[in-house]
A and B are shown apart, each in its own frame.
Chain A
Amino acid sequence: MSAIFLLIALFFCLLVGVPVAVSLGLASITTMLLFADQSLLSLAQRFFHTMQVYPLLAVPFFVLAGTFMTTGGVAKRMIDFANALVGRFQGGLAMAAVLACAFFAAVSGSSPATVVAVGSVMVAGMVSSGYTKPFAAGVICNAGTLGILIPPSIVMVVYGAVTESSIGHLFMAGVVPGILLTLALMATISVIARRQGMPRQPSVSWRVTLRAGREAIWGLLLIVIIMGGIYLGIFTPTEAAAVSAVYAFLIALFVYKDIGLSDVPKVLTDSAKVSTMLMFIIANAYLFAFVLTTEQIPQATSEWLNSLGLPWWGFLLVLNILLLAAGNFMDPTSVVLILTPIVFPIAIEMGIDPIHLGVIMVLNMEIGLVSPPVGLNLFVTAGVADMTMEQVIRAALPWLMVLLSVLMIVTYVPSISLALPAWLGWGNG
């Protein structure tokens, strides 16, 4: 009874357009007041404590590091480097765009930011070297989703905090699927390019490549610091995030010299705004999760699923469909926050690795970002490429197939996600 009320209240609020954070909070509070003897006091207490969950502190720091890196000309340098590496092949510029997205994803934890940073340069560049605009927009739109899969990823931090899984472990698990997706996109481009005779860039000497690499290395070192630092146990993910924010600040200001000291307050305010908004949702989502647990809703769902006799692969299929559907209507962080408390206990009972589940969720969210009607990357690409939503949706659709096939492979071959962390000695789980 309480479960039905909770979900109806939540969906009603979401549908009439109440902000996601307030929807979660209001649905949880009213359910608590009507069906459980929890007081408002204990809910307020919970709300405050969520904001003091230590792993979640990584969110504002990663946002800050990403903003410093986006403001600067980091994207330009990564594009140059990617171009020097793969531009010589047929369809090279498009491949370079994908590679640049992957590089950039490694310094920013957000997909739309990746699309804006790489797309604003690359779409025009590809069109002027003879690619069609829909092709260029489709490539960028989809490659931009790498932002939340390749660490640092804010969605992964949130998932890790909610499920109390290791964030470092999740980051490691995102690396191989991220590379796989990058290669899949590049391979598809290569096939299309051969068939349609797309242009190649003049090949460049190794000296030029090296110089471009040296320029880009300062940005790429960020990911090395984060991953290396966490892996070697030098610092916690939260501290890694703070260190990377300071590092990004130093690089943007003193090495690349793209921004001046006077830009810093604006970068700080922007980041504070984004992290506040995320945190407001997260704090309310914790209330929601709290209600779910006290009302034993995941257990009930789990029992019901068991009675259906669904095998683990069937469950994963249903999960993928559910996540894709939800991802079409909401942003990644909200979906992860709403669905994780429900599906996580069930998945664990089915023997699915929590880290693997995290990677599956993130991949699904990537696809949600590029599928209509409210895929955020579609909006951003429409803005960057100066196209209408319909055009972008049509342009992005063929590439969606590539993402979907990678999702299927990653879902059913857990070792793609889990091999790297296991090999590094972190075991399973």
Chain B
Amino acid sequence: MALALAFMTIITFIQVVLRYVFGTGLVWSLEATTYTFAWLVLIGMSYGVRTRAHIAVDLFSNRLPFGARRAMGVTVSGLCLLYCGFMVYGSTMFIDGLFSLGNNARDIPLPRWLLIGIMPIAFLLLAFRFLQAMRRMLARDDKDQILKKVPVSTAIGQERKIKIVKSR
């Protein structure tokens, strides 16, 4: 992920430099950047589930007793799985259509189905992570501290808060 972001940044930067200093440009740079970004996001989605980076409204679930919270957690993972199912199905059809068309991307000499082919795979991965979350949720018992602790609502806040607490 780090490499992908660095690649995008550098390519775009070079593009600006080339345009002003040398008066030329790379034809493929824009497309390369946008496809890299798409890949980054798609792969990053499941990483986000693993590191609990996704934002959710946790205002109400925090106030519930343990049993209800667990039921809620399972429902949430179930709904997320449903979402993944829809997206896997939709993107597979999308790829299928592109495959039979067989055309290449505009500026990159690769077929489009290959470039977009990451999409169903990414959503399968995402589904796998949600399945894991669901299993964890089901396995938890009353004594589980993580489930009782008040989570902070967003990714940035969460991360910084942990850092601050640690540093103290």
Q: Which residues of A are in contact with B by a Cβ distance under 8 Å?
A: 13-22, 25-26, 29, 33, 39-41, 43-45, 47-48, 51-52, 54, 57, 60-61, 64, 110, 112-113, 116, 120, 234-235, 238-239, 242-243, 245-246, 265, 268-277, 279-281, 283, 329-331, 334, 373-374, 376, 379-380, 383-384, 386
Contacts and interface: CB of A to CB of B under 8 A. Distances in A.
Given A20-B56, A60-B8, A61-B9, A52 B1 contact: no
Given A22-B79, A60-B40, A245-B9, 7 more contacts: A112-B156, A120-B164, A239-B12, A242-B12, A268-B3, A272-B40, A376-B154
A40 B6 contact: no
B48 A64 contact: no
Contacts of B58: 17
Contacts of A379: 152-153, 157, 161
Nearest to B123: A44
B75 A16 contact: yes
Nearest to A280: B45
Given A57-B34, A273-B47, A280-B41, A21 B54 contact: yes
Nearest to A245: B9
Contact of A274 (B20, B57, B156, B165): B156
A380 to B, nearest CB: 6
B interface, by DSSP: helix, strand, loop or mixed? Answer: helix
25 contacts: A16-B60, A17-B56, A20-B54, A20-B56, A40-B86, A40-B93, A43-B86, A44-B87, A51-B34, A52-B37, A60-B9, A239-B12, A246-B9, A268-B6, A273-B48, A275-B40, A276-B41, A276-B45, A276-B48, A280-B54, A334-B55, A373-B59, A374-B59, A383-B164, A386-B168
A17 B60 contact: yes
A380 B152 CA distance: 10
Contact of A272 (B2, B57, B76, B155): B2
Contacts of A374: 57, 59, 153
Contacts, number: 215
A33 B87 CA distance: 13
| In the A-B complex, the 8 residue pairs with the closest CB atoms | A276-B44, A40-B90, A44-B90, A268-B2, A242-B12, A19-B54, A51-B38, A272-B1
Nearest to B20: A234
B41 A44 contact: no
A66 B128 CA distance: 32
Given A22-B79, A54-B34, A277-B155, A272 B44 contact: yes
Residue among B83, B86, B152, B161 having the largest count of chain A Cβ atoms under 10 Å: B83
Contact of A14 (B30, B51, B57, B87): B57
A26 B83 contact: yes
A19 B56 contact: yes
Contacts of A268: 1-3, 5-6
B94 interface: yes
A26 B10 CA distance: 35
Contacts of B82: 26
B80 interface: yes
Interface string B145-168: 000000011111101110011001
Contacts of A15: 57, 60
Given A41-B94, A44-B119, A376-B153, A275 B5 contact: yes
B144 to A, nearest CB: 17
A interface, by DSSP: helix, strand, loop or mixed? Answer: helix
Contacts of A29: 83, 86-87
Nearest to A61: B9
A265 B156 contact: no
B160 to A, nearest CB: 5
B79 to A, nearest CB: 5
B154 A331 contact: yes
A270 B9 CA distance: 15
Nearest to B96: A41
Contacts of B41: 51, 275-276, 279-280, 283
Contacts of A33: 86
A146 to B, nearest CB: 16
Nearest to B33: A57
A377 to B, nearest CB: 9
A45 B165 CA distance: 43
Nearest to A13: B79
A287 B58 CA distance: 23
Interface in B19-71: 20, 30, 33-35, 37-38, 40-42, 44-45, 47-48, 51, 53-61
B102 interface: no
Contacts of B76: 16-18
Given A242-B9, A246-B13, A276-B1, A22 B80 contact: yes
Contact of A329 (B51, B59, B73): B59
Given A61-B12, A380-B160, A277 B55 contact: yes
B25 to A, nearest CB: 11
B124 interface: no
A33 B85 CA distance: 14
A273 B1 contact: yes
A277 B155 CA distance: 8
Contacts of B152: 379
